[in-house]
Structures are given as structure tokens and as C-alpha cells.
Amino acid sequence: MKLLEKILVPLDFNADYNKQIKVAGNIASHFNSEVLLLYILPPEAEAGSVKSILSEFVEKELDTIGAKFKKKGVTYRKLIRFGNVFDRIISVSQDNDVNLILACDGCPAEKGNYSISIVAEKLIRKSQKPVWLIKEGAKDIPKNILCPVDFSDASARALNNATKIARTFSSELFIINVFEPMQENFSNRLRIDYDKENERLEQENKQQFESFLRTFNLAGIKHTIESIKGKPSDAIVEYARTKKTDLLFIGATGKSALQRLFLGSVTEKVVRELPCSIVTMKSENMLNVRIDSDVESLEKHYSQAMKLKATGFYEEAIKQLKISLQVNDLHIPSLNELIKLYELTGQEKLAESYRQKVDIILERLWDSKIQLEIRKAYKLK
């Protein structure tokens, strides 16, 4: 089972890519991902004898970088392409159906036509694949994650993935909604009590925020939820600075004020001013559940359930545990985990039904000492 199957890492040898490699290694080792190391040469290098010389040089450099992944037990592939950097990144990401493009917004020694940092803003605006843009000075593992939401499908997708990453790395999660008050219009035709209208709109927005959050399970995540006022671009940047955010997840699709930040001409400004790395989500998730079809043994289903639970895929974990019980309906570890998962998801009646099943199984044991040890081991009541 792989939740994050492929990570595309476009490299620029003129830039400091060490942080990019470290972050890619951390993510890949946690999710058992394959890393695709991509280097793009200019189109004119594809013709003549220079092609083999440059390709050989790039191959060696990629092997040196790949050795760092090998030490972490991470598999990698080398990809060399020719052409326009942005176009090739997009085509490779689609052809290989990657889960994530991990780009770097570092400061290259020489800013040429093929610097990754030049296309970073374009990737954020136009790539349909999730893009993780690593800012200079970013931490290898995010300790504080910020996710602004505007109740759209894209922001729901961003928050869903943010909660999974927060669980994986034990990060603190900040969830905010920015309410932008109506501005006074001095036209004589519009006679509006702006204070009263903004008060009404703010209350409606608060109710929407609460309703939106009910669909997410934040159990086990250290989190803060806040509604703030202001212009979205300024408010998000200021909040990220105040909370010393390491990583920002944001939905970047649609026509809302928040989403337009990452689609229009102000993208470069926002990216430059944000003090943290950014993950933009559009039509695809970064993390997806893909269960191996050939898994048959009880222990493998149980193991997959534990990985899913740790990442926050509770419903999927429950399904895997139920498959384990189809193999052996007396498997106490699976029963015990089902109890915990139903408690986490607020399904107390189902949790109680499985507690009763465990009690029935344990009562069959003639040795009371063994029964006691089992209860201690699994912290059963």
C-alpha cells in the first residue's frame, strides 16, 4: 500500500538543491514513495555530439544525488528531458501520474533560462498536480502547518491533506478563515448600513466555517481554529509570520478571492512574501489510498490498517481491519483497533458492540491469568 506513490523532483544544478533532496527523502521514507529525479536540458542540447556529453554528465550527477536516497532505503529513477522547463515538468508529471511535484524556490547562483526558481510561480498557477514549493531556509520536517480555507472543494482537499501530513509528522495545525468586510461605496444609489451588513455577513461566514469543519476529524492533532478579518493576501502572510509557520496548504482553484491569489498576477508577490514553504492543491489529492490487490494475509491487512490510521484515513483503516476479521474473526488486535477507530470517529455504539465481542472471546479462555494479561496488553477495560 502506498499513500504517496511518486514524487517528482525537478532539479537545477545551478541552485542549492540540498533542502529539496532532504525534504523529498523525508516524505518518501515516511510514505514508501518512489522519487523521480528530473533534469531538463535546453532544446539545442539535443542535437549533435553535445547530447551524449551532457547526458553522461547529468547521469553522474543524478546518481550522486540518488545515493542519498538509497541510504534512506528510498527508490529513485533518473529522468533526463530536453526542452522548455515548465512544459517538460508538466508533461513528465502527467505521463508518470505523480502524486506531487516538489520544487525549490531557492536562490540559484546563476539565474538562467532554465532555473527552476523562474518557473516556480508558473507551476503554482498552472499545474493540476499538487505542488510543494520549498522556500529558502525551510525546515526539513514541518512543525507548524497553516491551512486557510474558504469552504470550496479545493480548500477542503487542501485541509484533508494538511491533516494527513500533520498526523504523519506530529505537526501543529492552524486552520483559519479570512472574512473580508464590505467596503463603503459612496454612490448615492446604495444606502447600506455597512456596519450592520458586515456584522450579518460575518455571522453567516462563522456558521459556514463551523459547518465546513464538521466534516473533518481532527482527533489526535494539536490544532488551532481561528476566524480573522482583513484582506486575504495580507492576513494570510501576517498570520504565517506571527505563528512562524513552516508549511502552508492552500486550495488554488476557482474564483474566490483566496483562490485568485494563486491564479493571477499577484501569485509571485504572495509567494515572495510568505515566510514558509507552500503546497498548492487543485483537482488532485497529494495523498491517495491505493491498496495492493494481492494482499491476502491477515497480518498485512492489519499492518495496512495501522498505516492508514496513523495518517488519518480512518474509514479506510476500518475496512482493512474488517478484512482481517474475515480471515480470523477472533483476531483481538483487529477488534481492539476497531474499537479505537469507532471511538475516534464518534461511533460509540459500534465501538461498544466490538467491546462486547472481545469480552465474549476472552470469557472463553479458561485461564483467568491469560485473560488478564491479554486485557493489559491491549489496554482493554
Q: What is the pLDDT of residues 104-163, one digit of tens each?
A: 875 443 344 334 466 787 888 788 899 999 987 888 899 999 999 988 888 888 999 999
Query: Which of 106 and 265 is assigned the larger pLDDT?
Result: 106
Quick check: 48 pLDDT over 60? yes
Q: What is the mean pLDDT of residues 347-369?
A: 76
Phi, psi at 126, each rounded to 5°: -115, -20
- 226: nearest Cα among 284, 173, 159, 175: 175
Q: What is the mean pLDDT of residues 354-361?
A: 83
Quick check: 372 pLDDT over 70? no
Counting residues of the chain whose pLDDT is more than 70, the rounded percentage is: 82
- Residue 43 and residue 83 in contact, taking contact as beta carbons nearer than 8 Å: yes
Quick check: 289 pLDDT over 80? no
Burial of 350 (0-12, 13-18, 19+ CB in 10 A): middle
- Taken in order 156, 162, 166, 169, the sign of the CA dihedral is positive
The H-or-E segment that residue 76 falls in is: strand 76-82
Residues 308-348: pLDDT tens digits?
Answer: 999 899 999 999 998 888 777 778 889 999 999 999 999 99
> What's the CA gap between 311 and 306, in Å, rounded?
9
Dihedral-angle region of residue 40 (phi above 0 means left; psi in -120 to 50 means alpha; beta otherwise): beta
Q: Which pLDDT score is estimated for 375?
A: 56
Quick check: 366 pLDDT over 60? no
- Residue 61 and residue 41 in contact, taking contact as beta carbons nearer than 8 Å: no
Q: What is the DSSP letter of 179?
A: E
- Quick one: pLDDT band at residue 38, thresholds 50, 70, 90? very high
Q: Which pLDDT score is estimated for 359?
A: 81
Q: What is the average pLDDT score of the chain? A: 83
Q: What is the set of domains in the chain, with CATH numbers?
A: 6-118 (3.40.50.620), 144-184+193-281 (3.40.50.620), 298-377 (1.25.40.10)
**Mean pLDDT lowest for which of 70-84, 93-107, 283-297?**
283-297
Quick check: 81 pLDDT over 70? yes
